[in-house]
Structure 1
Amino acid sequence: MEPRLTDHLRVVLIFIILISTGSSENDLDSKFCGTWRHGKGSLSLNVNISTGCDGISISANQSALSIDGQITAQCRRLNVIQLGLDSEEETHFCLYWEPLLDQLKLQVGGKNLTLCWPASLQGRCCTDLSDDLIAPEAAYGIKNGMVKTDLITPNIRTAYRFKGQHIDCKALCDQESQRSTQGNMTEQTAVMSLDGGRIEHPCARSIEVEMKEDFRGYNVTSPATKGVSAESTTTVHLPPALKQAAKKTSKVVCTFFQNNSLFQEVHKKARILDDVVGITMENEVITNLSEPIRIAFHHDVIPIRHSRKCVSWDTRKDPLQVNWLVDGCEIGQKGAKHTECLCTHLTYFTVLVQMEPRPVRHLLALTAITSLGCAVSVISCVALIIFLFRKSRRCNEQSIPIHLGLAVSLAFLNLLFFFTGVLANVGGESVCVWVGAGLQYTLLSSFTWMGIEVFHTFWLVYRVFSPFPKYYVWYLVGFVLPAVPIIILAAVGDIYGVREVVPSDDVANPYLMCWMKDNHKALLAHYFTNMTILAILVSSGIVMLFLVYREIRTRDEWRQNRVAFLSIWGLSCLFGATWGLTFLDFGPLSDFILFLSCILNSFQGFLLMLRFYMLDWMRKQAGGSALGSSSSGSTRQHMLQAQEKS
């Protein structure tokens, strides 16, 4: 009984809070969020909305989320929507209600659905929704139910019901206008009807422009708002081409909205500016203007590390969902506190600020270096493979198969990386699924062979007289083992595909490559495979190299022969250390580390070839002593000569 009593007391407390806050002013919007506890089968949304102000009910069971009630002025909706969500057992959702617009929206499982589209201002609005139902608890239903930021109960309820009350819509709009002059405007949204026509927000500020016969362009500036400086206004330049494109009317309406925080949750990795501009002409669809409309947004400082895009609101792809698209818009002049958008069609416009991923600086230079390095590395690895094959005919060194495995894996890694951009643009998503999987496989295979090289050096120094495992064992480890996580990730799905790399100087034209996608599953896969194996490689490589150095630093051959130094240098540069620079990509030296990592890793095949050729040349210069070309160089000298030949 105690949890139920606590549940009742919590509801009473929230009800008192709602009454106390609503006594002086009415709610301009309502928001109810919760976590839907459901089964793993097919999920659906049941909607039954009609006019009135009796209230609204949100209920849930194992397979369906239901929204029923009478809170709208003119919206009526009765249908079942298949959600097509992932088969997780819990899904977060939020229901938004804006009485002034007669608009009802639902966010569920990453989808944004408009259940009731905006309408013109009505006589009566249904607002001040309050919880008045204590539903029973169950295994399936809604848990952590919240009204805005107030938690109702953490327990799982089968349903929530909210009662509303009628109020004059004009009085509610006057209340919003009064709040906006105090710098505390309510959440607003851009307004568009289902058929693409214009519906003004009842409290938005609109300016109508008459385009006469001699129309030569016109500048429209957003009306000044108390408490807002003149520098924060938005200016729209209407070009003469707009008059030429118009067929049915000569009037254009510019509507200025502010504080559109409701849209922020649409983009987890981005946000839009507070200002949104709607440019519309009644009964006209204007596209592909010969001269763009210029919209100058003034805003707070946008840091350099955050990219920005000019976007427009489009509902053609899915009438139930809101889509901010870059189609038909591009960035003109921009600065820390202003952004100019050039758009060739009419709709609602704003600026989308990308919070993550961080745009890459100097992307063109990095791409050129990487392409050159990969091309050189592929040629170098092929030359090294030929060299090692010829060497294997003259002597029977146990290390040659290991060197061959590393050279082959690096050759394929650099070859795929060299063509990944071309394949992404030509083949698209279908090709990139295979190329991305192949690229990760060759990367993991290269990491594995690097680890084998380091382990081989450690083995030869510390276990001189112990037999080394046969070469086919290492081929299984180096080529077969990395395929296991790739097969698992491919079976999971939605991991590999086209990946966008955003340049800081041209965010509207990202570089496309075939790799792991930019989603939650791919990010987890990246950390659990690539980053985990890289961390193990770097840490174990450093430890083993330190142990090798400690063992051989007192030997005569270390003090007398330069090959030992060259061998240690080659190991530290090739087997993990250069890839370890990835962990240092932060702070003021970020650009330097990025360039250094790019150069060393893309030219790694060339460095590998250079190391072996120099070791062989120095061996010949030393008089042909059996130094070998193993990863331990001269550290083994004559002491290991017999073991090497075995």
Structure 2
Amino acid sequence: MDMDLIGIAKNNNDRSAAVGFMSFNTMENLLKPDFFNTSNHQIKTMMSTVISATLPKTTNTTLTKPVNFTFRHIREFDPSGSLSCVYWNISEWIVDGCSVLKTNSSYTVCSCVHLSTFALIMQTSRPPESDPLLELLNLVCVIVGLVFFTLALLTFALCQWSPGVNNVARINICISLLLAHLLFLLTQQFLSLIWPQQVSCAVISGLLHFLFLSGFVWMFIEAVLLFICVKNLSQISSKKREVLSSGFLCVIGYVVALGVVCVSIGLVPDGYGSEHCWIKHDKGFIWSFLGPVCAILTMNMILFISIIITMNSTLTKLNAEVSQIKQTKIMVFKTLVQFVVLGCPWILGFFTNGSKVLEILFLILNSQQGTFIFLIYCVLNNEVRQQYRKFFRCLYSGHKKH
């Protein structure tokens, strides 16, 4: 609070004045912003704690200058909303004599010509009502995607693969995205319980940032592995053992994503914990996720162009078996499809802008990443299909005996 107490004291006979300042940390839960009169199309949000200022034992309480209050925002600021500095008048919030001097995403300075009980209220357009069918579709799609992520992981772990196949990146893509989609699903289902706990909400959004980002890092690692495979087609096995061990890849895959999250927290400590327990959009903090994603997608595109050019020139010179050439081509095709499946839904998400059709398309494509990975690497792999048949035959014969 900033006020001219010396000027007030000069206007009193005893040349003295005292000010009392109180902050009611939980009063905003009682004095709801609904008491602030607005139309039905608007929604009000309390953006500050409730404070009160008085001039006790002061005869002449007339203010010589307006008093200024700096309110720290207790909730995420919506750039499309309008802020009002208000005071409590018996039974309602009113704005008479109060105005906003300046504001940013973190705090607002209010100026008032009188003392009272004050607060900061944000007024925004009421969001469209949730669509039950869309929520049901989201729930079903995410659950189906999680089931196929699990099946893909079991297949990678339990099936026997050719010696030249390196599934480290694919396994970790599945682990990262499985945990991310599962955490996001549980968060949205219990959002009403989690969001009031701001610390928990911020921690969850940080974990989601880390898990989704690590999925993209692992996608880039797989593209790098494929590039090395094409570049050194004849000696890829020895190359992998020397340079790209599983432990080294795991360090890269998770430390890079963790580093981005740590730097993001250091630059904008309050950037996590939006109303959906995701990254906040103010201060451009959403680019802590979109920036690395765009960079990885761009580098992957450059790598795939290099892979195609290198493969064409290498295979014309290479005196290799037809099966090896065919296997490499299939691997390139599958990784390219994976790049499209994992990357394009997020690009599509940039352009939804309230379009119901694009929103549904984004929801389906993004939730079915596990399904696509299972189909591309498991169902379309002849060796894996044979092992599936063997497993189901054993299962059927065992069931028949009982």
Q: 1:458 aligns with which of 227, 235, 247?
A: 227
Q: Secondary structure at the match of 1:450?
A: helix
Contact 2:168/2:246 (CA < 8 Å) preserved in 1? yes
Q: Relative to 1, partners in 2 of residues 1:437 and 1:193: Cα closer, same or farther, differing over 3 Å?
A: closer
Q: Secondary structure at the match of 1:514?
A: coil
Q: What is the CA-CA distance between 1:69 and the residue it aligns to?
A: 7.6
Distance (Å, rounded) in 1 between the aligned partners of 2:140 and 2:71 = 43
Q: What is the CA-CA distance between 1:478 and the residue it aligns to?
A: 1.5
Q: What is the CA-CA distance between 1:496 and the residue it aligns to?
A: 2.8
Q: What is the CA-CA distance between 1:575 and the residue it aligns to?
A: 4.2
Distance (Å, rounded) in 2 between the aligned partners of 1:486 and 1:194 = 45
Which aligned pairs between 1:546-565 and structure 2 lie closer than 5 A? 546-552=305-311, 563=330
Distance (Å, rounded) in 2 between the aligned partners of 1:531 and 1:366 = 25
1:381 alignment partner in structure 2: 149
Q: What is the CA-CA distance between 1:530 and the residue it aligns to?
A: 0.7
In the alignment, structure 1 residue 535 sits paired with structure 2 residue 302: no
Which aligned pairs between 1:478-557 and structure 2 lie closer than 5 A? 478-489=253-264, 493-497=269-273, 499-500=274-275, 513-517=276-280, 519-520=282-283, 523-524=284-285, 526-527=286-287, 529-552=288-311
Q: Relative to 1, partners in 2 of residues 1:423 and 1:481: Cα closer, same or farther, differing over 3 Å?
A: farther
2:5 alignment partner in structure 1: 48
Q: Which stretch of structure 1 is more off in the superposition, 378-387 or 462-471?
A: 462-471
Q: Relative to 1, partners in 2 of residues 1:265 and 1:546: Cα closer, same or farther, differing over 3 Å?
A: same
Contact 1:541/1:575 (CA < 8 Å) preserved in 2? no
Q: Relative to 1, partners in 2 of residues 1:565 and 1:518: Cα closer, same or farther, differing over 3 Å?
A: closer
Distance (Å, rounded) in 2 between the aligned partners of 1:197 and 1:471 = 64
2:226 aligned partner, one-letter code: T
Distance (Å, rounded) in 1 between the aligned partners of 2:225 and 2:93 = 72
Contact 2:86/2:95 (CA < 8 Å) preserved in 1? yes
Which aligned pairs between 1:247-646 and structure 2 lie closer than 5 A? 262=99, 320-324=117-121, 352-354=123-125, 364-392=132-160, 395-397=162-164, 399-427=166-194, 428-429=196-197, 430-464=199-233, 465=235, 467-468=239-240, 469-489=244-264, 493-497=269-273, 499-500=274-275, 513-517=276-280, 519-520=282-283, 523-524=284-285, 526-527=286-287, 529-552=288-311, 563=330, 567=334, 570-585=337-352, 590-617=355-382
Q: How many residues align structurally?
A: 311
Distance (Å, rounded) in 2 between the aligned partners of 1:405 and 1:198 = 53
2:338 aligned partner, one-letter code: L
Distance (Å, rounded) in 2 between the aligned partners of 1:388 and 1:362 = 38
Distance (Å, rounded) in 2 between the aligned partners of 1:490 and 1:448 = 19
Contact 2:88/2:118 (CA < 8 Å) preserved in 1? no
Give aligned-pair identity as a percent: 16
Q: Secondary structure at the match of 1:550?
A: helix
Distance (Å, rounded) in 2 between the aligned partners of 1:388 and 1:69 = 82
Q: What is the CA-CA distance between 1:409 and the residue it aligns to?
A: 0.8
Q: What is the CA-CA distance between 1:436 and the residue it aligns to?
A: 1.9
Deviations 1:308-363 (A, max 9, x none): xxxxxxxxxx95423437xxxxxxxxxxxxxxxxxxxxxxxxxx344xxx957976
Distance (Å, rounded) in 1 between the aligned partners of 2:232 and 2:136 = 44
Distance (Å, rounded) in 2 between the aligned partners of 1:517 and 1:264 = 24
Q: What is the CA-CA distance between 1:617 and the residue it aligns to?
A: 3.0
Q: What is the CA-CA distance between 1:475 and the residue it aligns to?
A: 0.8
Distance (Å, rounded) in 2 between the aligned partners of 1:462 and 1:474 = 19
The unaligned stretches of length 5 or more in structure 2 are 24-61, 74-83, 107-114, 316-321, 387-402
Deviations 1:129-164 (A, max 9, x none): xxxxxxxxxxxxxxxxxxxxxxxxxxxxxxxxxxxx
Q: What is the CA-CA distance between 1:604 and the residue it aligns to?
A: 0.7
Q: Which stretch of structure 1 is more off in the superposition, 559-568 or 478-487?
A: 559-568
Q: Relative to 1, partners in 2 of residues 1:320 and 1:605: Cα closer, same or farther, differing over 3 Å?
A: same
Contact 1:450/1:576 (CA < 8 Å) preserved in 2? no
Q: What is the CA-CA distance between 1:438 and the residue it aligns to?
A: 1.6
Q: Secondary structure at the match of 2:19?
A: strand
Q: Secondary structure at the match of 1:447?
A: helix
Q: Relative to 1, partners in 2 of residues 1:45 and 1:493: Cα closer, same or farther, differing over 3 Å?
A: same
Q: Relative to 1, partners in 2 of residues 1:517 and 1:572: Cα closer, same or farther, differing over 3 Å?
A: closer
Q: What is the CA-CA distance between 1:102 and the residue it aligns to?
A: 8.9
Q: What is the CA-CA distance between 1:447 and the residue it aligns to?
A: 1.4
Q: Relative to 1, partners in 2 of residues 1:369 and 1:196: Cα closer, same or farther, differing over 3 Å?
A: closer
Contact 1:448/1:478 (CA < 8 Å) preserved in 2? yes
1:495 aligned partner, one-letter code: G
Distance (Å, rounded) in 1 between the aligned partners of 2:147 and 2:95 = 64
Distance (Å, rounded) in 2 between the aligned partners of 1:514 and 1:200 = 32
Distance (Å, rounded) in 2 between the aligned partners of 1:450 and 1:532 = 16
In the alignment, structure 1 residue 79 sits paired with structure 2 residue 38: no
Distance (Å, rounded) in 2 between the aligned partners of 1:408 and 1:446 = 8
Q: Relative to 1, partners in 2 of residues 1:404 and 1:472: Cα closer, same or farther, differing over 3 Å?
A: same
Deviations 1:25-50 (A, max 9, x none): xxxxxxxxxxxxxxxxxxx7464065
Deviations 1:484-540 (A, max 9, x none): 33345556643333x22xxxxxxxxxxxx32234554xx43x31x311110111111
Distance (Å, rounded) in 1 between the aligned partners of 2:163 and 2:93 = 81
Q: What is the CA-CA distance between 1:266 and the residue it aligns to?
A: 6.9
Distance (Å, rounded) in 1 between the aligned partners of 2:86 and 2:249 = 64
Contact 1:401/1:471 (CA < 8 Å) preserved in 2? yes
2:68 alignment partner in structure 1: 106
Higher helix share: 2
Bigger relative contact order, structure 1 or 2 (CA pairs below 8 A, ≥6 apart)? 2
Instruction: State TM-score, norm by structure 1.
Output: 0.40
Instruction: State TM-score, norm by structure 2.
Output: 0.61
Coordinate RMSD, CA, aligned: 4.6
1:505 alignment partner in structure 2: none
Q: What is the CA-CA distance between 1:551 and the residue it aligns to?
A: 3.8
Higher strand share: 1
Q: What is the CA-CA distance between 1:191 and the residue it aligns to?
A: 8.6
1:577 aligned partner, one-letter code: C
Q: What is the CA-CA distance between 1:413 and the residue it aligns to?
A: 0.8
Q: Secondary structure at the match of 1:399?
A: coil
Q: Which has the larger radius of gyration?
A: 1
Distance (Å, rounded) in 2 between the aligned partners of 1:591 and 1:420 = 23
Q: What is the CA-CA distance between 1:380 and the residue it aligns to?
A: 1.1
2:211 aligned partner, one-letter code: T
Contact 1:406/1:449 (CA < 8 Å) preserved in 2? yes
Contact 1:46/1:79 (CA < 8 Å) preserved in 2? no
Distance (Å, rounded) in 1 between the aligned partners of 2:188 and 2:93 = 42
